[in-house]
Structure 1
């Protein structure tokens, strides 16, 4: 019955119970704690969901209530979410990097009754905003370390105490939990997923059990998974990308979810597990590529020559493999040798040896990056969707990976392009709308189609091509259209460029603010005898500017049209950061915010006579302290403007 429409008749707790009946003793969850991997079978999983759900019921949580989760990825996060679902309550993920005021806004907007936190860091945020969130009746925590001062306050509860209350209720009425689970319906709301907030405050997207399970069923019809496959959970749970794996794919296929010891050790723990599939935002793959290039750069000269030769052969072979075309025998042999001699040991070092497929989404990825990963033997594929369609609606098929597209619709997904060029979609994974925002929901689902807000078209092979956000597509003074995101991705393929922000709307030319990659550029500086102490000092060095200018010139030389060329740029004195509001939680640039924050630099890009400006650089540290430093920013011109 797996991966068929039969699964669509269940709620998530009902599907979990079904898993118990067919493979109760199989490992469902694995968590690394103090260096040791501990596991939960499907039986254990259901038992913990049961005592969590009944514990929540004993606290007065019932159908329609909202339980917020602010936590790193741990099994208890799923116990809490699905325990709430079992009662007909709704879970909601909040990014663990959120600041107290931001959390207060979200909890009030989503009408949260109870909050689950993993540790003292998150609990302290709740303490700070306690008076602002009177609707929150209880805060449950998982890690008791540092919680001694709170233990006498009834507002707080150790999850072990919640379990005990659940067990007590179970002992009184052993049938109650299954009766509550039986009441669930596939169309019931089960989770509120926050949108990325690229253009403003995040909205709570209403997700149903059917949304998640349908997505899990349809994606595995394209790329089947085995119940013995492994997945590493390191994406923030508040992001739809993690929920679709934990709620959707895992329940639909029976794979094992692995939880790293911490966010900091996630990549090392990934190497120990060796997952069979992986999903990550573009920044993850960009960072890994930089690390690979850094390893090669630090290698012996002979190894570098071998790598450079075989990466070229691999890239040629990748163009055949991605399109499913027959490869010349000579090239096939060279590509095979490259994999055995260079790339197989390399991908083993990063934990990708067993990886059959890797997916990226959340933002577009440069075509060159796909070719790079395919060349080294990592089957990286683009997916496209949004929170409101449970993360995925379109994806590449094996042997039909076209880097300039996002692939074909998933089974059961319809695609249409509006007269205005907007991408419209329809499937069982489409959200019913936004929480407490009826007008926004009406706009989202106008005419029975999900309105993506993205501009795109369908090519002659049926693949969807995404251009950019409709609101972000720019026109220069001559009304020539260009996509800033497209140019940013082109720039970011350079290992020396960490981030790029493109401007040029209603201007004479395109200009850019650039973040250098501190790891790769730092190594380059050391190799070239350039001394520096800080990121600000490194980015201000004229030789670094010359290096970046060469990278931009390469992009310009490949530009299809003259107005795509970048004419002016400046190097930012700090990395763009989520905590500073410059990036969304999923790593997308908040372009207008960045433009306003660095307005002196933005204006300097379009003041042709200005060569440099003195600006005040403001830094906010994690301990709350801040400082202001004066620095000079130089503006560089590539061509006559």
Structure 2
């Protein structure tokens, strides 16, 4: 079954300036021709880095493409791709695009039901997976989706003769494909030239916070426009060292690890696994590094924990030089230049503290560090800039290849996301919505004309985000327009704005602000178990579980102080008056957050309605029955007593 993701929108009419032969495959062939011995990819396997040249990369893609074709994969076929970052999964993704098939990545930790929904929606008959775990997951769904007839796997451990019917190793496919290339004259050039700039290079998906995820087809032209716009703004440079550790189902990984890597000849480094990524990062020492605000915050927590465990001269030097660097960075952002003496001591600090710390984190060579996805805390942002990293924020969505707006290296602000890239237009309409236009903007959702009509108007992408311009012309993102809510008295508020500010605190991992049609705002808080656990340990506070730690009076007071700090920074009518520390984290497997940890408010409101009612009824605590699912699949109920905290003297 073949699919055209946008049957009613002719890309040749929408993009008359695109050159038909301008594709990822053609650019990969260019790299193999002009830099055949350059290192395109490294992958750590059993502790040893295996290197692939550009010539070898192209050979691997074409061999697998020939093998896929022999196995029945053809133009328009949508193929599920799932697993952790693996070199052969990147090769397989490109091999599918060479055949004009459509790779559709899914998160490696997606529940079987999520995969089933995607396969049914997209008519998926074949899948490319990492290992036995993913094979078993898909095999369990075959009785409900019998159309899935082919599963191709990378890691054969645990499979081999035990592989289910229709499953085959990617290595065997590549071997068959190589034989075809050797036997069929002209097949190699044919495979390089089949795809066009108008073909879909990847089918990604929205987060699904308000319903089923929407398919987002990105053509070769879209992703290459995004990369070239970013490069024109100095966001990428040729020959970057990049670490591919972000989920393959996320648009940023496709844009960085495949599109930008091929266009600008990055060396893509694939860590051995997620558990070794931080260790591998130090060996890789990338020049380009992206991490979410949550990841930067976790890195800061790791540094602080490490410093807390040191003593002697190292601790004294850190305690002297870091506050100095932080004050220097605050002054710089305020427009004040350092004196000659301050520059001297900054240089000394770089030798004894800042440089060694960057090296320990694996960031000693990073010239272009970025963050995006949500607001980053001022403390975190300032810290890494004080450490000597030119950390910058950017703004993008899957629909625009994640590449639209970014801060320049010399135009940094704590409250903005920067200016549009060359080739991208931004305006804010009368409702306050951010609109985007450019060659990187997708052409419409997969088989969803209604959603397409709502998102694309007169060539502009309606992002759904509320924004405004700063006094110096930079874009400020306030939150989702759909999440603009009103209290009972009509006061307007955007929960995500308040939630992001609260998540700046290291003690808070997730938070959901409640208050629609209510007299005041409240919050359901999920503490950060690692950070708060370390904090408790330093103070000699005992606990045996997340639930117990979250309800300790000292932890309740810690969270209360963080909320009070937010209340001091916002208008009184937006202050949070009551809160409860949840007994667990929000969990994507429970449907409370997406795989990228965006809140599913409807689920949270329904599941914790009893708690919310108690908060607004003025109770001091609630006995909550939490339903849990054991590994065996059996369910049970645990009763938890959750304390409800007050601010502003407990008036509610």
Q: Name the TM-score class by shorter chain.
A: over 0.9
Cα pair 2:78 2:126 within 8 Å, conserved:
yes
Cross-structure match for 2:77: 65
Q: Secondary structure at the match of 1:91?
A: strand
Cross-structure match for 1:413: 424
CA deviations on 1:161-207 (whole Å, 9 max, x unpaired) are 21122122212213123223323221211210011112221111011
Cα offset for 1:227?
4.2
Aligned counterparts of 2:194 and 2:334: Cα–Cα separation in 1: 48
Label 1:556 to 1:431 Cα distance change in 2 as closer, same or farther (>3 A): same
CA deviations on 1:62-117 (whole Å, 9 max, x unpaired) are 11111210111011111111111111111110111111111111012112231001
Cross-structure match for 1:483: 494
Cross-structure match for 1:110: 122
Among candidates 264, 268, 271, match of residue 260 of structure 1: 271
Cα pair 2:287 2:366 within 8 Å, conserved:
yes
Cα pair 1:28 1:256 within 8 Å, conserved:
yes
Among candidates 133, 143, 168, match of residue 121 of structure 1: 133
CA deviations on 1:577-617 (whole Å, 9 max, x unpaired) are 22222221112222232222111222222122x00010012
Cross-structure match for 1:16: 28
**Aligned ranges 1:214-293 → 2 under 5 Å:** 214-223=225-234, 225-293=236-304
Among candidates 613, 634, 639, match of residue 643 of structure 2: 634
Tell me, yes or no, if structure 1 residue 29 matches structure 2 residue 41.
yes
Among candidates 502, 509, 518, match of residue 498 of structure 1: 509
Cα pair 1:67 1:115 within 8 Å, conserved:
yes
Label 1:6 to 1:271 Cα distance change in 2 as closer, same or farther (>3 A): farther
Label 1:172 to 1:586 Cα distance change in 2 as closer, same or farther (>3 A): same
**Aligned ranges 1:172-187 → 2 under 5 Å:** 172-187=183-198
Cross-structure match for 1:521: 532
Cα offset for 1:270?
0.9
Cross-structure match for 2:622: 613
Cα offset for 1:300?
2.1
Cross-structure match for 1:317: 328
Aligned counterparts of 2:608 and 2:623: Cα–Cα separation in 1: 12
Cross-structure match for 1:574: 584
Q: Secondary structure at the match of 1:132?
A: coil
CA deviations on 1:425-468 (whole Å, 9 max, x unpaired) are 01111111111112211221122100101111122322111111
Gaps of 5+ in 2: 1-16
Aligned counterparts of 1:268 and 1:201: Cα–Cα separation in 2: 36
Judge which range, 227-236 or 248-257, deviates more: 227-236
Aligned counterparts of 2:380 and 2:487: Cα–Cα separation in 1: 28
Q: Secondary structure at the match of 1:399?
A: coil
Cross-structure match for 1:561: 571
Cα offset for 1:341?
2.5
Cross-structure match for 1:597: 607
Cross-structure match for 2:91: 79
Tell me, yes or no, if structure 1 residue 586 matches structure 2 residue 585.
no
Cα offset for 1:275?
0.9
Q: Secondary structure at the match of 2:42?
A: strand
Cross-structure match for 1:530: 541
Q: Secondary structure at the match of 2:628?
A: strand
Gaps of 5+ in 1: none
Cα pair 1:93 1:237 within 8 Å, conserved:
yes
Aligned counterparts of 2:34 and 2:100: Cα–Cα separation in 1: 24
Aligned counterparts of 2:594 and 2:216: Cα–Cα separation in 1: 16
Judge which range, 584-593 or 65-74, deviates more: 584-593
Cross-structure match for 1:296: 307
Label 1:296 to 1:49 Cα distance change in 2 as closer, same or farther (>3 A): same
Judge which range, 78-87 or 513-522, deviates more: 513-522
Aligned counterparts of 1:317 and 1:52: Cα–Cα separation in 2: 53
Label 1:393 to 1:115 Cα distance change in 2 as closer, same or farther (>3 A): same
Label 1:393 to 1:324 Cα distance change in 2 as closer, same or farther (>3 A): farther
Cα offset for 1:369?
2.4
Cα pair 1:150 1:156 within 8 Å, conserved:
no
Judge which range, 417-426 or 179-188, deviates more: 179-188
Cα pair 2:242 2:257 within 8 Å, conserved:
no
Cross-structure match for 1:368: 379
Aligned counterparts of 2:372 and 2:112: Cα–Cα separation in 1: 28
Among candidates 409, 418, 427, match of residue 398 of structure 1: 409
Aligned counterparts of 2:147 and 2:45: Cα–Cα separation in 1: 34
Aligned counterparts of 2:462 and 2:561: Cα–Cα separation in 1: 40
Aligned counterparts of 2:605 and 2:348: Cα–Cα separation in 1: 48
Aligned counterparts of 1:301 and 1:490: Cα–Cα separation in 2: 35
Cα pair 1:67 1:81 within 8 Å, conserved:
no
Cα pair 1:322 1:398 within 8 Å, conserved:
no
Cα pair 1:233 1:257 within 8 Å, conserved:
yes
Task: Figure out how many residues of one structure are paired with residues of the other and give that number.
Answer: 634
CA deviations on 1:120-170 (whole Å, 9 max, x unpaired) are 00000111001222332310011111114534x441111122112212221
Aligned counterparts of 1:480 and 1:341: Cα–Cα separation in 2: 51
Using the size of structure 2 for normalisation, the TM-score is 0.93
Aligned counterparts of 1:357 and 1:8: Cα–Cα separation in 2: 32
Label 1:310 to 1:199 Cα distance change in 2 as closer, same or farther (>3 A): farther
Cα offset for 1:500?
1.7
Judge which range, 315-324 or 12-21, deviates more: 315-324
Q: Secondary structure at the match of 1:431?
A: coil
Aligned counterparts of 1:481 and 1:148: Cα–Cα separation in 2: 59
Label 1:305 to 1:431 Cα distance change in 2 as closer, same or farther (>3 A): same
Cα offset for 1:485?
1.8
Aligned counterparts of 1:332 and 1:505: Cα–Cα separation in 2: 51
Cα offset for 1:629?
1.2
Aligned counterparts of 1:117 and 1:481: Cα–Cα separation in 2: 46
Tell me, yes or no, if structure 1 residue 508 matches structure 2 residue 519.
yes
Q: Secondary structure at the match of 2:375?
A: coil
Cα pair 2:204 2:218 within 8 Å, conserved:
yes
CA deviations on 1:253-286 (whole Å, 9 max, x unpaired) are 1010011111111111111111111112222112
Q: Secondary structure at the match of 2:415?
A: coil
Using the size of structure 1 for normalisation, the TM-score is 0.95
Cα offset for 1:9?
5.4
Label 1:623 to 1:120 Cα distance change in 2 as closer, same or farther (>3 A): farther
Cα offset for 1:528?
1.8
Tell me, yes or no, if structure 1 residue 389 matches structure 2 residue 400.
yes
Tell me, yes or no, if structure 1 residue 358 matches structure 2 residue 374.
no
Aligned counterparts of 1:438 and 1:581: Cα–Cα separation in 2: 26
Cα offset for 1:308?
4.2
Tell me, yes or no, if structure 1 residue 540 matches structure 2 residue 551.
yes
Cross-structure match for 2:11: none
